Chains A and B, each alone.
Chain A
Amino acid sequence: MRILIVDDEPLVRRSLQRAAQMRGHEVRVAENGVVGKKEWEAFDPEVVFVDVLMPEMDGPTLLAQKPKSSAAKIIVISAFTGEYDSEVALKMGAHVFMAKPFEDILQVVMRAEELSHGRR
């Protein structure tokens, strides 16, 4: 499964990437929306993790400019739970909202797998 991770926090990118790779997935990462947009077009991921607050281009902007052809499942991850909850995320075009911090990183990846296989 191809997974794109767009997050400005290196440790989040790194851990999520490692967890996904451990589960046998192909992963690409981007540190902001601009890079994320390019990767999205080039990589055509099945699942995209998008952070909300990022330099250069934030999550909502990225989601608004995502490739029209993409059928990727979108998971919004944010530590800023005060403003962004699942409802807002869904309006933005996401399929799932996940609050940071994660309790268990592998659970997060497994949730992504479930989403991609059509189970919500």
Chain B
Amino acid sequence: MSDLLLFTEFEELKELLPEQTWAPAPGEGVLFFGPASARARCNEVGGFFVLTGKGLSLSQIRDSKVRHKDFACYEWEQEPKERLFCFNLLLRQARRRWELQKLKSHLIRENQELQDARDREGLKRRQWEEGRQQKSLALKKASAQLRKRIFFLKRLNEAMDLKDVVAMVHEEARKVRGLGDALMAVFKDHQARILYTSGRAVLEKRLSQIPPLQSPAQWRQTLADHLNRPIGPLIFLEGSKSGFGLFFEHHLTAEALQEVVDEWKLRRVGLELAVDRFQLAQDLEEAALFWEKTFDGLGEPIGIFDGDHQVIRANQLFSTDLMNHLEDRLVRDEGKTFQVESYALQTGREVARGAKVIHLTDQTSSFQLKQHIIQTEKIAALGQLAGHIAHELNNPLTGIRSLCQLLEKDLTLDEQMRQDIHAVEEATARCQNIIRNLLEYSKPHGEDQRVKADVNEVISNTLPLLKSLMGRHRRQVSLSEKPLTALVDPHMLQQVIFNLIANACQAMSDGGGETGEISVTTELQDGKIHIRIQDTGPGIPAALVREIFEPFFTTKPVGQGTGLGLSLSLNIIRGFGGEIQVDESYQNGAAFVITLSQVS
């Protein structure tokens, strides 16, 4: 602690007490000796003021003690000895006072500090208490929400399909005041389905067009249009992978809205997983269905067998009938011919060990082609043979017939015998007819016989020859006005037309003898000449349409037809590069269409 210092402006006093140390300036902790005029200056700096002077008046002293409460009054004109004594006394008193004052201020300061510290501590404590309460409330709320969230996510796991998911979301939404119906949009391949609740049921609608996700207003309009009801303001939550969108109708305040949005954002991951799961399941199902349909839709029978020859899978065409004949190389089924091919099934799975795929390739057309070639060769050989036989037979037949003709003229024969001879003559004529046909059939149709001829003209020339054949039947001829030029042998073509018309007449006469109608039409279609000959006879049974063109096929009674007419006709027309077909759609009889290429 610093000592009390002395200060005065009285130089006499400094000289009077030379052993004293005087402070250079007034201040606190200073005993200030000065006249009354210096008092204010001393008090200002907190020093102890001692009114000092020579011959101080009583009123001055009273003023000093009562009014100004100065520390002391010092009359320094007294005896030097007395003066020193007083001074020392003053000094001691001042020092004590100074000590006390310092002690007091120290105590006050300490007390104040203590008080301050206590105040600060109290504030901290209050704040901490408050914080603790708030924290605990938030914690409780958060943990309740977490529980709900976990419960919801657990339930999502139990959902069987997307509709369940929507129902659960809807149920959750109804728990929040101000939140309305939940709707879910599922996007896939630029299409959207809307799942929405109606009562307890979850219904589904397809959206014809998807509004932009950034536009809730458009969504609101679209949903209202599709669900036929007004839709309130919407909360929209988009799945991060844009696989789905979740909508809630609501009438929430901005603050509550944020809370709901935050909560559902937290649930979004779980929802996404659930939606993905069902989307994936659906995709798988669709893919499986797609493959199944593809497999079933294959145009040839395919079956997959395990190592024990049991069917694992087979497509629709793979009938049980076929399965019984798999040992063979060729299998016939319903008019088709299949070649059996098999190869190992490679899937890398245990199940597939020893499994094989049996694939039946449709060989019908190539098989038919082969058959056709064989048939053609057969016919060619037959033709050659027929030529020889015909020639050998023709000679004796000519003789027989001629002799019969002569015998019939013999007037000595009785009627019975003449009829017998006539019968022989007729039979011989039929034999000759057969042979003529055979020869015609076996005759090669070289191109050199073909000339450019007007088909209409050929037909026109043929028709008069048919008069006796046509008998009572009506004739309807409609020839194209344009000339129809084809590369044909006119005589042969004439023979074909004659043949077809003769067949028609015969068919109509057989069918009850009523008057029928034959129509002959020609027209040009896409560069092809069509000659159509149709009758009103009984027609050709569908089952026989193919067979009628086979050589030696006939429905006529024995002796009336050789079965070569149509076969021969087809041969001739094919020789011209054309075709004869039966128009199976014609119902009123038989219709044959000859097709030839128009040449310029």
Chain B residue nearest in CB terms to A19: B406
A102 touches B439 (CB 8 A): no
Which residues on the B side are within 8 Å of A82 (C-beta)?
387, 439, 443
Q: Which of B399, B406, B432, B439 contacts A9 (CB 8 A)?
A: B399
Known interface pairs A79-B391, A82-B387, A106-B405; A15-B439 also in contact (CB < 8 Å): no
> Interface residues of A, CB < 8 Å — how many?
23
Which residues on the B side are within 8 Å of A106 (C-beta)?
405-406, 409
A11 touches B403 (CB 8 A): yes
A22 touches B402 (CB 8 A): no
A12 contacts the other chain (Cβ, under 8 Å)? yes
Which residues on the B side are within 8 Å of A105 (C-beta)?
401-403, 405-406
A101 touches B403 (CB 8 A): no
B398 contacts the other chain (Cβ, under 8 Å)? yes
B402 touches A19 (CB 8 A): yes
B424 contacts the other chain (Cβ, under 8 Å)? no
B395 contacts the other chain (Cβ, under 8 Å)? yes
Q: What distance in Å separates the Cβ of A88 from its nearest Cβ neighbour in chain B?
A: 16
Which residues on the A side are within 8 Å of B506 (C-beta)?
none
> Interface residues of B, CB < 8 Å — how many?
20
B394 contacts the other chain (Cβ, under 8 Å)? yes
B396 contacts the other chain (Cβ, under 8 Å)? yes
Interface of A (DSSP majority class): helix
Q: What distance in Å separates the Cβ of B484 from its nearest Cβ neighbour in chain A?
A: 29
B391 touches A11 (CB 8 A): no
Q: Which of B400, B409, B443 contacts A22 (CB 8 A)?
A: B409
Which residues on the A side are within 8 Å of B443 (C-beta)?
82
A16 touches B396 (CB 8 A): no
How far apart are the CA atoms of A82 and B387 in the complex, in Å? Answer: 9
B402 touches A16 (CB 8 A): yes
Known: A15-B406, A22-B406, A79-B398. 5 other contacts (CB 8 A): A11-B395, A11-B402, A13-B399, A101-B401, A105-B402
6 closest cross-chain pairs (CB), A and B: A11-B399, A15-B402, A105-B402, A79-B394, A101-B398, A9-B395
Ordered by A's residue number, 16 sampled pairs between the chains whose C-beta atoms are within 8 Å are A10-B399, A11-B395, A11-B398, A11-B399, A11-B403, A12-B396, A15-B406, A18-B406, A19-B405, A82-B439, A101-B398, A102-B398, A102-B401, A105-B401, A105-B405, A108-B402
